[in-house]
Structure 1
Amino acid sequence: MSENPLQLIVHRMTWEAEGVLSVELAHPDGKPLPAWTPGAHIDVHVGGRIRQYSLCGDPQDQGAYRIGVLNEPSSRGGSRFVHSQLRPGQSVTVSEPRNHFALEDAASYVFVAGGIGITPLLAMAREAARRGAEWRMVYGGRGRASMAFTAELALLEGEVTLVPQDELGHIDLDGVLTGLPEGALVYSCGPEPLLAAVEERCPEGRLRLERFAAPTVERDGGEQEFEVECRTSGLTLRVDANTSILDAAENAGIAVNSSCRDGICGSCETRVLDGTPDHRDFLLSEAEQATGASMMICVSRCASGRLVLDL
């Protein structure tokens, strides 16, 4: 969670599709909220849990944050709380926006959305239209009734293709991703099977994506113990093979921002002062990982025997 959490109120809740509520959060005194850019998300305290939700409103509106929440009965409780208990006027604690899925400058864009994955891409499409860039959106869902924000997409200057599965089957990714224009970037968000299929077909260096959950990764060999110097705290920790850096820090009494513990939310990102991280997150780009400037301590480990962290 952010070191400077915001205490906001639920200003409005709107049904955007079957099972999808948008929630607008505003400052109780009407003050402007911290700025954000398309692709950003906030941590939201809901039902005793912390969940990440992409901002899907307009960054130029600093009066409110809007998120889209799918009612998922099989979830760990965050979405159920929003749908069953959260109501306008209630107070909610959120973090300031973070963005590990930023809309980079490009000649053109292709957005591939699956289900509630439309939320960050809606803000990106709006920004691409504002920039006057060429863009197209391919948006798949179970059925038209379950696909949120389609009316808003229709108002934007761009090509939008809706692919309701019950009518048209799955998105034709080969058709979408073959012969991309020179300089085009592909942004995708949705369930893991969609993202894996997009990764398989997208030319190297063109894809930017955001995951709902960490994919399963098979690793060869056992884990090694290593040492972490927590420079700010003045403590040195031994991190054994079955413990994460985050767990070791918390066990030593060091307060660390954290949420997903799967390397997908970015809340535990920590500055690396010395040593070489073994990056295992699903947020940092290859270029960002190569710099070794920061790491997600919930999943990443050490490739150099010892790390010095800003903890």
Structure 2
Amino acid sequence: MSPDTGKNGSSFQVEVGSIRTPAAGVAELVLVDPAGGALRPWEPGAHLDFHLPNGLVRQYSLTSDPADTGCYRVAVLREPDGRGGSAYVHDELRAGDVLTCTGPRNNFVFHPAAAYRFVAGGIGITPLVPMIESAEQAAVPWTLAYFGRTAASMAWAGELAARFPGRVLVRPDDVFGVPDLAAVLPDPADGELVYACGPHGLLDALAARLGDRARGVLHVERFAPIATEASAAERQAFQVTLDRSGIELEVPADKSILEVMEERGIPVISSCREGTCGTCETAVLAGSVDHRDSILTEDERAATETMMICCSRGIGAGLVIDA
């Protein structure tokens, strides 16, 4: 079975084998097959969609060893101002519970390179750990700069620094202050790629640090949408044609394609509804798109081959999607 890097995979079940706390506010879950079999294969950067018993669907990065099909590992940060997903994981889940998942899916593909620079902010360390393991196994040079609010909040920081001395730089804000990327990240050499995951401020500062070199060098994954209230105010109504069903929809300024399809009773699978998970990614057959997701690269946006129908919109007339 090959990894599901597309839109959706069939659902399957996992059992919570164990739960521990690798850092303050972080729950680490080890997941196994309830029947004791092998789990679905995956590649660094992939995540699972968890269909929680309280009705919520949440995406959590796989942070274990892709070569180990006997278990998955995910780490979930408690979000005090979240919408209930992390609170359920922390407060309700117990060892032995069985969960329904879909995936694995990968919106953060780990590309071959001559060397890697990894940059993590807080819980953004989760998708980078398998990449580090993969680079280490392939004997490809790498370094990690790991930032967080406090040392106590940074999962696996001590383990990584002890295991890879000289290659892991741990910089908690309460000791070192605001991250100084220029001081800790030299310019990437030819053939190096930079992989980063964390809060917007860190990722935006990293892109600014790299400037014109960011395109083609910098790969990021965001846990929250880029879209702002100002961009939402600029929305315009547009029409979209669903090619397979032959239906033409009018999408008003205050609704998404996804919402209009749901209102018309057209089956569509979605999850985050804010352009961060990739579940609703849909092929574009014609027309122009105002991309508002936090997944596609600039080159992918320019190619206009797909769009996230939960947030991205048509420009002008003639948008046709594979639905």
TM-score class, shorter-chain normalisation, is over 0.9
Which residue of structure 2 aligns with residue 39 of structure 1? 45
Kept in 2, the 8 Å contact 1:129–1:158? The answer is no
What is the CA distance between 1:190 and its match in structure 2? Answer: 1.0
Which one is further off, 156-165 or 67-76? 156-165
* 1:204 partner letter: A
Which residue of structure 1 aligns with residue 153 of structure 2? 146
Kept in 1, the 8 Å contact 2:278–2:295? The answer is yes
1:6 aligns with 2:12: yes
1:83 aligns with 2:93: no
Q: Distance in 2 between matches of 1:3 and 1:185?
A: 29
What is the CA distance between 1:275 and its match in structure 2? Answer: 2.2
**% same residue:** 46
Which residue of structure 2 aligns with residue 213 of structure 1? 224
Which residue of structure 2 aligns with residue 257 of structure 1? 269
Kept in 2, the 8 Å contact 1:227–1:237? The answer is yes
* 2:46 partner letter: A
Which residue of structure 2 aligns with residue 231 of structure 1? 243
* 1:10 partner letter: V
Matches within 5 A, 1:1-311: 2-46=8-52, 47-153=54-160, 154-156=162-164, 159-202=167-210, 203-205=213-215, 206-217=217-228, 218-219=230-231, 222-311=234-323
Q: Distance in 2 between matches of 1:31 and 1:189?
A: 31
Q: Distance in 2 between matches of 1:127 and 1:4?
A: 27
* 1:174 partner letter: A
* 1:45 partner letter: H
* 1:185 partner letter: L
What is the CA distance between 1:109 and its match in structure 2? Answer: 0.9
What is the CA distance between 1:99 and its match in structure 2? Answer: 0.9
Q: 1:167 to 1:251 in 2, by over 3 A?
A: same
Q: Distance in 2 between matches of 1:51 and 1:15?
A: 20
Which one is further off, 134-143 or 213-222? 213-222
Q: 1:235 to 1:216 in 2, by over 3 A?
A: closer
Which one is further off, 269-278 or 35-44? 269-278
Q: Distance in 2 between matches of 1:306 and 1:219?
A: 22
Which one is further off, 151-160 or 31-40? 151-160
Kept in 1, the 8 Å contact 2:226–2:293? The answer is no
Normalized against structure 1, the TM-score is what? 0.94
Normalized against structure 2, the TM-score is what? 0.90
3-state SS of 1:193 partner: helix
Which one is further off, 195-204 or 104-113? 195-204
3-state SS of 1:276 partner: strand
What is the CA distance between 1:306 and its match in structure 2? Answer: 2.2
Q: 1:187 to 1:158 in 2, by over 3 A?
A: farther
| Residue correspondences, number | 311
Which one is further off, 3-12 or 109-118? 3-12
Gaps of 5+ in 1: none
Kept in 1, the 8 Å contact 2:30–2:71? The answer is yes
Gaps of 5+ in 2: 1-6
What is the CA distance between 1:216 and its match in structure 2? Answer: 4.1
* 2:153 partner letter: S
Which one is further off, 232-241 or 261-270? 232-241
What is the CA distance between 1:186 and its match in structure 2? Answer: 1.1
Kept in 2, the 8 Å contact 1:141–1:165? The answer is yes
